[in-house]
Structure 1
Amino acid sequence: MQKIIISGHSRGLGKALAEHYLAQGVQVLGLSRTLLPEQVGLTQIALDLQQTDTLSAWLAQGGLQHFIAEASEVVLINNAATVEPCAVAGRQRPSEITAAVQLNIAAPLMLSNTLLHIRQAGQTVKIIHIGSGAGRKAYAGWSVYGATKAALDHHARCLAAEQHERLNIASIAPGVVDTEMQAQIRSQNEQDFPLLNRFQQLQADGGLTSPQTAAETIAHMIADDDFGLEPIQDVRTWQALQDSLHCADAIRISSEAV
């Protein structure tokens, strides 16, 4: 039996992921400040993951251990994140820097560490960090966001290097997904965020991926037999590879039929 844990499950990509797995009849544990309407298969915990003391106290209570009981495979998707501060250095609020580090780095690392500590013998664990291209390429105005996402990439590399038994981990960049985070980015001041016009143009040109499409692709990546062989992944690269493989298969079948 597979069970899924998703942080930030009530909005955007996290919500789309929760809906995808619930539609497959998989039990989901959602961790978020706000909750979705009750539905079969969904367990929800109201948690502000920026408050690491609160998260630590909840983890100590054993709720995570209770949820994963009887599962043969546990999937943790560290999705919750903040893009703030969208500002060049010198114009960032200290409170926003602190919040970003706590939510984007501390919470995923705490959840991952606890899951590996409490899992039962024989349970397979898959950990997915929702990364970002901002953690792999420098963007003006995203020094904090990019640094936090780069930290998740390196955490995935380190856990892979530790060679834990029955653990597969990857940090997956989902591409530019049409979520509230994107709307938040487009509302910034250009003086603070030099990339503003680029993201406004992406929306105008229809260059955003829907949360549902991104969630479906990520779910396919997680289910792939090769998941975890490469700890740093990108939805667009993976999809392009699948398309090329399907094209090659179609050409082979066509040639065999001649």
Structure 2
Amino acid sequence: MNTKTIITGHSSGLGKALAGHYLQAGCGVLGLARRQAGLRPFEKLAEQRIDLSDTAALSAWLAGGFLERFIEGADEIILINNAAAVAPNAVAGRQQAAEIAAAVPLNITAPILLANHLIGCKPERAVLKIAHIGSGAGRNAYPGWSVYGAAKAALDHHARCVAAERHPRVQIASIAPGVVDTAMQNEIRRAHEADFPMVRRFIDLKSEGGLSSPETAAAEIAAMIASENFGTEVTDDVRRLR
């Protein structure tokens, strides 16, 4: 099977582990991020340096036809919307306007633009699997994460609506990966308790070994996407399988 995989935020953390997983499986991978990842094999990896929080830049790039050329001839297309900003880690009233303005287009607009474009342009016979990287923060209310949680809840509901539309050969799910040991977690642990009342919880998770590795989470997510039942649970969680 000719599988082409598009992964946002592939240059670090979970996204890099996902890209590495699919490259090792022999899939063609297109990574979208501000930095290159330095992954191998090089011949299977295409990279586009782009700031996904810049909606105008992303829209212009999509209009250029690169995605259509990348997926040409594919039997299976996988889109993993992984890129996200967790900031602002702060309760309402203490959030920085610039962080809100950067987070919303990255966390919500970019995934929806990419999903919409691929649904519209995929080859008729190809199967398209869309995986939003969701979060428990989008399914539970946590103080300090009104912006991040709202964004993840938006992706959950986007997946529900697209699934309800019943596009031919399109499967979609929003998958919560659990708490993964990435740079995002470092950022969370640096937050001030006055801004982010849950910071102690994340410090304890790290010290108690409660974080999964990016490689473990990537393998679990890839297994869920590969399952013939992918999309049956539209809002899913890797911890369901542990």
**TM-score interval w.r.t. the shorter chain?**
over 0.9
1:9 alignment partner in structure 2: 10
The runs of at least 4 aligned residues of structure 1 exceeding 3 Å deviation read none
Q: Can you give the 5+ residue segments of structure 2 that lack an aligned partner in the other structure?
A: none
Q: CA deviation at 1:37?
A: 2.1
* 3-state SS of paired residue (1:225): coil
Counterpart of 1:4, as a letter, is T
Cα distance in structure 2, aligned partners of 1:229 and 1:88:
35
1:88 alignment partner in structure 2: 91
Cα distance in structure 2, aligned partners of 1:15 and 1:36:
7
Cα distance in structure 2, aligned partners of 1:180 and 1:167:
32
Written as runs of structure 1 = structure 2, the 5 A alignment for 1:1-258 is 1-37=2-38, 39-237=42-240, 239-240=241-242
Please list the CA deviations of residues 129-171 of structure 1 after superposition, one character each: whole Å capped at 9, or x if unmatched. Answer: 0000000000000000000000000000000000000010000
Counterpart of 1:22, as a letter, is L
Q: CA deviation at 1:96?
A: 1.0
The structure with the larger Rg is 1
Please list the CA deviations of residues 221-241 of structure 1 after superposition, one character each: whole Å capped at 9, or x if unmatched. Answer: 00001001111100001x23x
Cα distance in structure 2, aligned partners of 1:100 and 1:45:
20
How many residue pairs match? The answer is 239
* 3-state SS of paired residue (1:75): strand
TM-score by length of 1: 0.92
TM-score by length of 2: 0.98
Cα distance in structure 1, aligned partners of 2:197 and 2:46:
41
Q: CA deviation at 1:89?
A: 0.3
Please list the CA deviations of residues 52-100 of structure 1 after superposition, one character each: whole Å capped at 9, or x if unmatched. Answer: 1000000000000000001011000000000000000000111111111
Cα distance in structure 1, aligned partners of 2:129 and 2:123:
14
